[in-house]
């Protein structure tokens, strides 16, 4: 690597939603630029006039910002090499096309409806920073290829080459599905007398069946994960490990740590499997790191969407903390605390109250005893540990079976087979709500006996 300023770029097309693969490519470009003290540029490749839309461009930029990626030049920021939308750089492309036509490196075809580059009948050989020497035979794509539909309508191949040179891009880091495109672009660079950047082709993202990740086999829209309550820190950390080896047993890295550790030498050649279950495990890790205050603020939109009224913030902070270690996303967390809602309907089956070796009659008696015992407890003992100590002593003293006692209490408070423990739940609900729910359970099972 020479002393020239490192300049990387991400150049997405605003023709659809933000793809997970595009996000990973953007991340690797940003990490490499930051590690080397270089610049990271965002450029919008909107040569596809029919499919390119401003709303897709905004979605792409929103996705990059959500991940916490920052760029030094690009849309809405500008820079010395702008503008940063291809639709605004037409004069440069026309000049390149006129040069190619004038020197007979390109020629018009199809009644002037397209312009093709003349391709010499020889292999294109280049060094890839990840894959080593790469050889591409032009017959792979059929030789001469279209570089413009007209002088004022360039296609991707011409525009990207002109832009990379004009914006002094030193390194093009993109997916391995661009290997053939890179050979085309090198031929264009030679014909135009432009410098060739260094290339690095990242492994493709695959699904669990080792097929190319696509919307047919899973969710590939980055912001869909945001909208389901995945944290950007978790997504960024997970994406960084898809095809890159940090050369340690560590899994969890902050953005700043990734910027310090990232090296192209650590990028693997083989495809990387995107596993949403693994992403969920990363998200659980980051959810557990949040304070109660942070958790409430991040979960608030999902709580409101679920219809909960957040009037007692302390209560909801405590409620969320009970489910914090169990949920994989903020969406799951909001669903998981539904039984903490003051107007929880308690719509569970009476049969759920009965422990496996008990019966409805015995369960009814135990619920009645629980009500009477807890009603006598003072508010000063209404904490998780004190409730546990007091109630377990009472169970032992009365000679009751633990499962037959604690199970109906858990169900009465949550209505669920799988839920947090009864002591931590009761501590958050408070004495009045706990007794109210036990009363509801008693009535349910009485009607069933």
Among all residues, which ones are annotated catalytic?
215
Angle of helix 20-35 versus helix 232-240 axis, rounded to 10 = 80
Task: Say if residues 429 and 340 touch (Cβ distance below 8 Å).
Answer: yes
Beta bridge partners of 105: none
- Strand 106-109 and strand 114-117: the pairing is antiparallel
How long a stretch of residues is the chain?
449
The region that residue 430 occupies, defined by phi over 0 for left and psi between -120 and 50 for alpha, beta otherwise, is left
Q: How far apart, in whole angstroms, are the C-alpha atoms of residue 140 and residue 257? A: 41
Q: How far apart, in whole angstroms, are the C-alpha atoms of residue 195 and residue 89? A: 19
88-93: long-range pairs with CB below 8 Å, 24+: 89/159, 89/162, 89/163, 89/166, 90/152, 90/154, 92/162, 92/163, 92/166, 93/148, 93/154, 93/158, 93/159, 93/162
Q: How far apart, in whole angstroms, are the C-alpha atoms of residue 177 and residue 283? A: 29
Q: How far apart, in whole angstroms, are the C-alpha atoms of residue 163 and residue 82? A: 10
DSSP string, 80-128: TT---BGGG-HHHHHHHHHHHHHTTSEEEETTTTEEEE---SS-EEEEE
Residue 281 main-chain phi, psi, to 5 deg? -65, -40
- Strand 132-136 and strand 124-128: the pairing is antiparallel
* List of residues 6+ apart from 125 with CB closer than 8 A: 133, 134, 135, 136
Q: How far apart, in whole angstroms, are the C-alpha atoms of residue 203 and residue 273? A: 10
């Amino acid at each position: 690597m020479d002393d020239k300023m490192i300049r990387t770029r991400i150049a997405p097309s605003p023709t659809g939603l933000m793809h997970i693969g595009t996000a990973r490519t953007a991340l690797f470009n940003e990490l490499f630029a930051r590690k080397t003290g270089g610049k990271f540029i965002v450029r919008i490749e909107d040569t596809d006039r029919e499919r390119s839309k401003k709303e897709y461009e905004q979605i792409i930029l929103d996705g990059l910002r959500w991940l916490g990626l920052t760029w030094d030049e690009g849309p809405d920021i500008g820079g010395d090499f702008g503008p940063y939308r291809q639709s605004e750089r037409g004069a440069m492309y026309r000049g390149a096309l006129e040069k190619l036509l004038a020197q007979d490196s390109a020629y018009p075809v199809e009644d002037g409806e397209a312009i093709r580059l003349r391709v010499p009948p020889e292999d294109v050989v280049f060094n890839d920073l990840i894959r080593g020497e790469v050889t591409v035979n032009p017959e792979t794509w059929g030789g001469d290829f279209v570089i413009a539909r007209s002088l004022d309508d360039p296609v991707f191949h011409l525009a990207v080459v002109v832009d990379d040179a004009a914006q002094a891009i030193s390194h093009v880091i993109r997916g391995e599905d661009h290997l053939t495109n890179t050979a085309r672009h090198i031929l264009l660079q030679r014909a135009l007398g432009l410098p060739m950047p260094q290339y690095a082709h990242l492994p493709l993202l695959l699904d669990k069946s080792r097929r190319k990740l696509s919307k047919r086999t899973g969710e590939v829209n980055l912001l869909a994960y945001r909208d389901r309550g995945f944290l950007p820190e978790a997504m960024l950390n997970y994406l960084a490990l898809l095809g890159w080896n940090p050369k340690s047993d560590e899994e969890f890295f902050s953005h700043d740590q990734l910027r310090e550790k990232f090296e192209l030498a650590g990028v693997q050649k083989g495809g990387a499997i995107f596993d949403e279950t693994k992403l969920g495990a990363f998200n659980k890790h980051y959810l557990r790191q949040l304070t109660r205050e942070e958790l409430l603020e991040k979960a608030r939109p999902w709580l409101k969407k679920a219809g909960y009224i957040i009037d007692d913030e302390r209560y909801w902070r405590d409620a969320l903390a009970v489910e914090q270690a169990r949920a994989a996303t903020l969406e799951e967390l909001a669903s998981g605390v539904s039984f903490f809602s003051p107007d929880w309907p308690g719509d569970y089956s009476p049969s759920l109250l009965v422990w496996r070796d008990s019966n409805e009659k015995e369960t009814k008696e135990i619920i009645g005893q629980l009500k009477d015992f807890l009603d006598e407890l003072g508010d000063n003992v209404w904490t998780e540990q004190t409730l546990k100590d007091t109630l377990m002593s009472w169970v032992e003293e009365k000679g009751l079976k633990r499962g037959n006692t604690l199970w109906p209490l858990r169900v009465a408070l949550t209505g669920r087979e799988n839920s947090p423990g009864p002591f931590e739940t009761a501590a958050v609900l408070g004495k009045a709500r706990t007794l109210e729910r036990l009363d509801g359970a008693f009535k349910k099972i009485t009607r069933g006996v």
